[in-house]
Amino acid sequence: MMDKYYDAVIVGAGTAGLQAALMLGRSRRRTLVLDGGAPRNAPAEHAHGLFTRDGAPPGELLQLGKRDLEAYPSVEVREGLVTGASGADGDFEVALDGGETVGARKLLISSGVVDVMPDVPGFAEAWGRGIHHCPYCHGWEVRDRPLAVLADGPMIMHRVTLIRNLSRDLVMLTDGSEISDEDREKLEILGVPLHEQKISRIEGDAEAGRLTGIVFEDGEALAREALFANPPQRQRSELAEMLGCEIEYVEMAKSYVISTNPMTQETTVKGVFAAGDAGRPMQSLPTAAYSGANAGAFMNYALASDDVALELATSIAS
Ligand SMILES: Cc1cc2nc3c(=O)[nH]c(=O)nc-3n(C[C@H](O)[C@H](O)[C@H](O)COP(=O)(O)OP(=O)(O)OC[C@H]3O[C@@H](n4cnc5c(N)ncnc54)[C@H](O)[C@@H]3O)c2cc1C
């Protein structure tokens, strides 16, 4: 027995989910937004690169997003972890922790991803403060400082190409993984020192959010002020798997993202949409807002199309 029925249920009230809810609220859709905790950028003090809000604390952005939704009475935002989902287009059943079940005609998975921290002491503590994943988010703040890049395979030259523009005091770390002769030669020509040893620990002042250096297993220590690294990712929720949505592995981003139609954000399961980091390898606040807006608009269009089709079918039949 379902407790309530909605036009749309949105799983995750991060940037993507809140932006989608705004589109649905403005379309008078009965929408439930459920949120189960912190967004991915919670470890960072400030969020950068977002139009009109450059440098805002991550929590403040979400508060503003939730405040915008207060103008739309058909939208309900609630804390609650979604633990399961089943059903088909037009009739989904969503289970919440605590035992409640709600129904939805359309579903949005905007539950984000988890960055899986490597087993290197000091890494998790420095994540989002002295270790960054994205040059657009926190590169400007460390411009011209002593930097390091940790990467492997095709990411080696990709990351060096990007981060060298921020600082020429740059070293490349491979943490024991193989590097091709071609890339080795390119780094030499570009004047980027290469350290291939395994990393033993990251040093810094976790409380102050500062990174001071990298220590290798052979004992060598390197003084650095910031490290750029992209640990592997997994989906934060298991809903896509539960519903049978196709998930693809993107090697460059070491990420498992839900396959979506790039225009509508609909997944391979009709009526289930995915937006934000969960459904895109290019992950940032502006791209989460963009894909959330697309998802919200096309969920509304799908709902409107279903209504019109039903009305036409009923009138033709009678
Ligand atoms: C350390 C760090 C710093 C970053 N800094 C920047 C920056 O400065 N600028 C920038 O553009 N990008 C930045 N990013 C990237 C940015 O955080 C993401 O691209 C963005 O948060 C994606 O938004 P989202 O809505 O898809 O996911 P999220 O923001 O991760 O939100 C997903 C939400 O879904 C909720 N959720 C998950 N599972 C469930 C469930 N089962 N039930 C209910 N709710 C659930 C989560 O609790 C979370 O609140 C940073 C990333 C990291 C890791």
**Where along the chain do its domains lie?**
4-115+232-317, 123-229
Q: Is the pTM of this model over 0.85?
A: yes
Mutate to test the pocket of ligand 1, among 141, 284, 294 (most ligand atoms within 8 A of CB): 284
CB 263 within 8 A of CB 297: no
- Is residue 237 in contact with ligand 1, taking CB distance under 6 Å? yes
Structure tokens at 221: 């220590």
Residue 210, burial from CB neighbour count under 10 angstroms (0-12, 13-18, 19+): middle
Residue 227, C-beta contacts closer than 8 angstroms, at least 6 positions apart: 126, 130, 131, 132, 147, 148, 149, 150, 173, 202, 211, 214
**Buried b / exposed e across 167-195, counting CB within 10 Å, b at 16+?**
beebbbbbbeeebeeebeeebeeeebeeb
Specify the residue with its C-alpha closest to ligand 1, atom 53.
41
The architecture (CATH level 2) of 4-115+232-317 comes to 3-Layer(bba) Sandwich (3.50)
CA distance 13 to 79: 9
Amino acid at 64: L
Model pLDDT, residue 253 = 79
Model pLDDT, residue 207 = 75
41 CA to middle of ligand 1, Å? 6
- Bridge-based pairing of strands 101-109 and 91-96 is antiparallel
Model pLDDT, residue 317 = 85
- Is residue 110 in contact with ligand 1, taking CB distance under 6 Å? yes
Residues of the chain with pLDDT under 70: 1
Nearest to 264 by CA among 298, 287, 235, 288: 298
Model pLDDT, residue 171 = 98
Model pLDDT, residue 216 = 98
* CATH of region 123-229, choose from 3.20.20.30, 3.40.50.720, 3.50.50.60, 3.40.1550.10: 3.50.50.60
Residue with token string 């894909």:
291
Model pLDDT, residue 299 = 98
Model pLDDT, residue 209 = 73
200 CA to middle of ligand 1, Å? 29
- Is residue 44 in contact with ligand 1, taking CB distance under 6 Å? yes
136 CA to middle of ligand 1, Å? 16
| Gyration radius of the chain over CA positions | 22
**Residue 278: half-sphere exposure toward Cβ, Cα within 13 Å:** 33
The torsion defined by the Cα of 76, 80, 86 and 92, in degrees rounded to 10, comes to -10
Model pLDDT, residue 1 = 64
